[in-house]
Amino acid sequence: MEYDATDSGAGMHTSQPSGMPDDDHDELFGLDELRTGPEPRRSTGPLFRDSEQARRMLSVREIHAEPGAASSSRGRQILARFPDADVVSTDSHWRIPELHGNKGNAERWVRIKSTVLVLGEKKTLTVRPNGRSADWIAPGAANGCAMACAYCYVPRRKGYANPITVFTNVDRIVARLARHVAGQGPKSEPNQCDPSAWVYDIGENNDCSVDALISENTADLVNAFARWPTAKASFATKFVNPDLLLLEPRGRTRVRFSVMPPDDSRLLDIRTSPVEHRIAAAADFLDAGYEVHFNLSPVVIRPGWERSWAELLRHMDDVLPQRVKEQAAAEVIMLTHNRDLHEVNLAWHPRAEDAIWRPDLQQAKRSENGSWNVRYRNAVKAATVEAVRGLVDTHAPWLTIRYAF
Ligand code: SF4
């Protein structure tokens, strides 16, 4: 997911359909081809998602499924992939009280996140304007995450124990995006998101790399964007999934590896791939046809933070090959926290709160859904952003900062 400082529910917007008949869109954007299933993978060797390492992240034993989702083609594929899982019927993926919420301890949440799946159908297929990480936020093909970062905003609506919900009607999501892409036409003015392509964030409330352990939803989206010459998919990730290297993105998907100093990551990024692995994977993803950017996020102010970020940037400068540097760009995103999440974290990970709950530096603002979001005070934030820009200039001058927030 993108580490974003905003309340994810804000700014809802329905974009205009293009007015073209669906069949024309299907031909123009390759939907006919998509409906026959994802393109063949380049290799028929063993997949990472079947490895022991992948099973440590996700070992599904229980699947809560809406009936329509379970009987769909994607739903049947997922159920077949986890044949030993108990399947429980549910009316709505939004209302499963025994799964969602903050009750219980962290061990229980992690157990739920790593052993339970929810299958649902996405009802509202809204494309929302963004203007920071991407031009548009695509309707997500999943929400929830198997990882457990201490600052994550994704659990705000379902609670900390939210397992991944996979939306099985990805074909409708792709069709919606096809219409939206066609409606935009070519991008006429470059902007910081991209000089020539309309960028769609496909992972606002999920991590697409982990989702690819479960189903072909991520592959379907990557394959679809590979055929759309005016658009580009983009997703942030904290997990290295080598199976994504087998797809054919043809330069139309941007992977944004989130990085932060390894000490911060070990404290805050629970269950993610080590930062060094994310950086080491960049060249492989570029060679497989992805564009590779970085999210310098979240920036957490703590004693010694500038020294740690300088070391991280020097490490990137040392290990990244020139071809990665030439196309890389970055977002800088300051930590945003939340009062409710702070209370939750105190019960299971108080050491994280020592770093991310800093009333001496932070201010609270009530969000649209009534909860209190907490961010660094304006002057503190401005000074820190400037300091990060200075560190990048000094230690990784090849890294263009697309925006800092
Ligand atoms: S990787 Fe971390 S920040 Fe991203 S969705 Fe998962 S838990 Fe949240």
d(CA 344, CA 358): 16
Residue from 114, 149, 201, 235 to probe ligand 1 pocket by mutation (most atoms less than 8 Å from CB): 149
Task: Report whether pLDDT(304) > 90.
Answer: yes
pLDDT at 305: 98
Q: The tokens of 272 are what?
A: 């993610």
113 lines ligand 1 (CB under 6 A): no
- SS3 category, 280: helix
207 lines ligand 1 (CB under 6 A): yes
pLDDT band at 1 (very low <50, low <70, confident <90, very high): low
**Cis peptide bond N-terminal to 321, omega within 30:** no
Task: Report whether pLDDT(154) > 90.
Answer: no
pLDDT band at 307 (very low <50, low <70, confident <90, very high): very high
* C-beta of residue 226 within 8 angstroms of C-beta of residue 38: no
Task: Report whether pLDDT(27) > 70.
Answer: no
pLDDT at 37: 38
Q: The tokens of 136 are what?
A: 């548009």
Work out the average pLDDT over 171-183. 98
Task: Report whether pLDDT(95) > 70.
Answer: yes
Task: Report whether pLDDT(9) > 70.
Answer: no
pLDDT band at 43 (very low <50, low <70, confident <90, very high): low
238 lines ligand 1 (CB under 6 A): yes
pLDDT band at 42 (very low <50, low <70, confident <90, very high): low
DSSP code per residue over 48-101: GGGSHHHHHH----EEEE-HHHHHSHHHHHHHHHSTTSEEEE-S-TT--TTTSS
Residue from 8, 112, 152, 164 to probe ligand 1 pocket by mutation (most atoms less than 8 Å from CB): 152
Mean pLDDT (the chain) is 89
Give the residue carrying structure tokens 């099973």: 55
Give the residue carrying structure tokens 């072909």: 216
pLDDT at 100: 82
Q: What percent of the chain has pLDDT over 70?
A: 89
pLDDT at 36: 34
pLDDT band at 8 (very low <50, low <70, confident <90, very high): very low
pLDDT band at 41 (very low <50, low <70, confident <90, very high): low
Work out the average pLDDT over 256-267. 97
How far apart are the CA of 272 and the centre of ligand 1, in A? 8
Residue minimizing CA distance to atom 4 of ligand 1: 1
Task: Report whether pLDDT(369) > 80.
Answer: no
* C-beta of residue 67 within 8 angstroms of C-beta of residue 262: no
170 lines ligand 1 (CB under 6 A): no
d(CA 373, CA 336): 7
pLDDT at 19: 30
Task: Report whether pLDDT(221) > 70.
Answer: yes
Q: What percent of the chain has pLDDT over 90?
A: 78
How far apart are the CA of 148 and the centre of ligand 1, in A? 6
110 lines ligand 1 (CB under 6 A): no
pLDDT at 17: 28
pLDDT at 101: 80
How far apart are the CA of 152 and the centre of ligand 1, in A? 6
- SS3 category, 212: coil
pLDDT band at 395 (very low <50, low <70, confident <90, very high): very high
How far apart are the CA of 354 and the centre of ligand 1, in A? 20
Strands 142-143 and 128-129, by their bridges, are: unpaired
268 lines ligand 1 (CB under 6 A): no
pLDDT at 44: 67
Maximum CA extent, the chain: 59
* Cα–Cα nearest to 288, from 43, 48, 57: 43
Task: Report whether pLDDT(93) > 50.
Answer: yes
- Structural domains of the chain in order of their starting residue, each with its CATH number: 22-404 (3.80.30.30)
* Cα–Cα nearest to 264, from 3, 5, 56: 3
pLDDT at 185: 97
Sign of CA dihedral 369, 374, 377, 383: negative
pLDDT at 200: 98
219 lines ligand 1 (CB under 6 A): no
Q: Which residue has the higher pLDDT, 103 or 255?
A: 255
Q: Which residue has the higher pLDDT, 331 or 24?
A: 331
